[in-house]
Structure 1
């Protein structure tokens, strides 16, 4: 699967969550955002599925509480500790799915122990240019001999920075789904422009 295909899938998911959060007077929180709840149709368009534990909440970014827990690794810290559900908590879950889509590492991977988790692994790699190759893998990042290697690396770094902005420890510091969807669109547009429109 190419970088553009992965971007398109995550953009579809972002737009679906944006609609749930901002498209109606009462925000709808999916509460269990994870890869197995994202279905692809014949045209590779992503659809968010399984609303079995979804919640309606009051206006804006207000919270509600639930005893139903989402999947370990994908739920926001405040959801796991307090049962607090909010649009910002769902942004966190989206970020984890975004990271998994591009790194192919689950948040529960056995390599993540102690203080090291998927987010920290990504944050560390962004400070070391060489490490981003280890995070992404050659099948996604490619090699330096590729004509659009630098464009792809810049694109993937932007995606990782977006994911980290979606997963701040405090809910109020996370961006919302509307901004996440806009940012993904901008990243894709810039990438296609930088690599001459190639679907890579």
Structure 2
């Protein structure tokens, strides 16, 4: 009798195993392929976190360029535990990057953590940030380059908002958080203050504020974040990308904002606000450019409506930008 019971249990377990869902590419965590990287190896990779390898400094730490022992070039994002907020930010970013995967999101290679040191090891982006390319004299982005980059960012946001099991709100969209690889493909980065919406939530409250100039009105006033607050920030970034004006520039004081400035130009001549680097005196395709710029900046206005419910969503943004690109390529 005992033998029969044992045999029955064995068969039952085998049946349960056979019914389990096999892991797909989307289900498998990148953590399974991580290599272990020690603090000592990171020190060697970055020459002791030297200034010459410093790529940038953010609100929660510094980023260094490094070369691992296998010759892989990486970006090492260091977060020192100086406050509870920094610790929480690191944990949020680490957990999110372990779970999400999309061609336009920055990829995590590994992490390193001890009692007073935390670092994310990320893929290295040799062309730096969109902000650097927009405002550097060493880099020129034409209309198509900028359009492709903004489609990449919109695609990443569409995935975060609709393509993952739980909607993810980035909360800090800006050109400095858009990184460009060797092929100028854009990758959205910096998920330190990102939020996860619950199953029934369309909006949530937070005390963490993002970058001034890019925050949606309801985010800045009441700390309310949603997919539509990301859409607003994206719209501001879309304007900045094609006007080369920051929302915090001195000309935008009092009631004049980047959005109002662009909207006024759309009523008169949109080319008055377009980045001068995109124009030339002998430009034979000026009418086609004007039509393209008008379509892009009108879309940006649809993203930045004051009332969140009136803003379009990222699925619509991607669809419209792809159509604008197709029209641009046809001219």
Q: Deviation string for 1:100-146 (max 9, x for gaps)?
A: 100000000000111110000000000112xx233114321334x32
Q: Judge conservation of contact 1:27–1:60 (CA < 8 Å) in 2.
A: no
Give the aligned partner of residue 134 of structure 1: 272
Q: Is 1:15 matched with 2:155?
A: yes
The alignment status of 1:162 with 2:299, answered yes or no, reads yes
Using the TM superposition, give the Cα deviation of residue 50 of structure 1 relative to its aligned residue in structure 2, in angstroms.
0.6
> Which of 117, 122, 129 is the aligned partner of 2:257?
117
Alpha-carbon distance change, 43 to 117 in structure 1, aligned in 2, over 3 angstroms = same
Which of 132-141 and 183-192 deviates more? 132-141
Partner of 2:143: 3
Distance 2:259 2:200 in 1: 27
Aligned position for 2:285: 148
Give TM-score scaled by structure 1 length.
Answer: 0.92
Number of residue pairs the alignment of both structures matches: 191
1:164-200 per-residue CA deviation (whole Å, 9 max, x = no partner) reads 000000000000001001111001101111x2xxxxx
Residue number in structure 2 paired with 1:106: 246
Matched, 1:72 2:212: yes
SS at 1:79 equivalent: helix
Structure-2 change in CA distance of 1:63 and 1:111 (3 Å): same
What CA RMSD, in Å, does the superposition of the two structures yield over aligned residues? Answer: 1.2
- Partner residue in 1 for 2:108: none
Query: For structure 2, which runs of at least 5 residues remain unmatched after alignment?
Result: 1-140
* Mapped contact 2:242–2:275 kept (Cα < 8 A): no
The separation in 2 between residues aligned to 1:40 and 1:76, in whole angstroms, is 25
Decide which structure has greater strand share: 2
Distance (whole Å) between structure 1 residues aligned to residue 304 and residue 274 of structure 2: 19
- Quick check: 2:303–2:311 contact (8 Å CA) kept in 1? yes
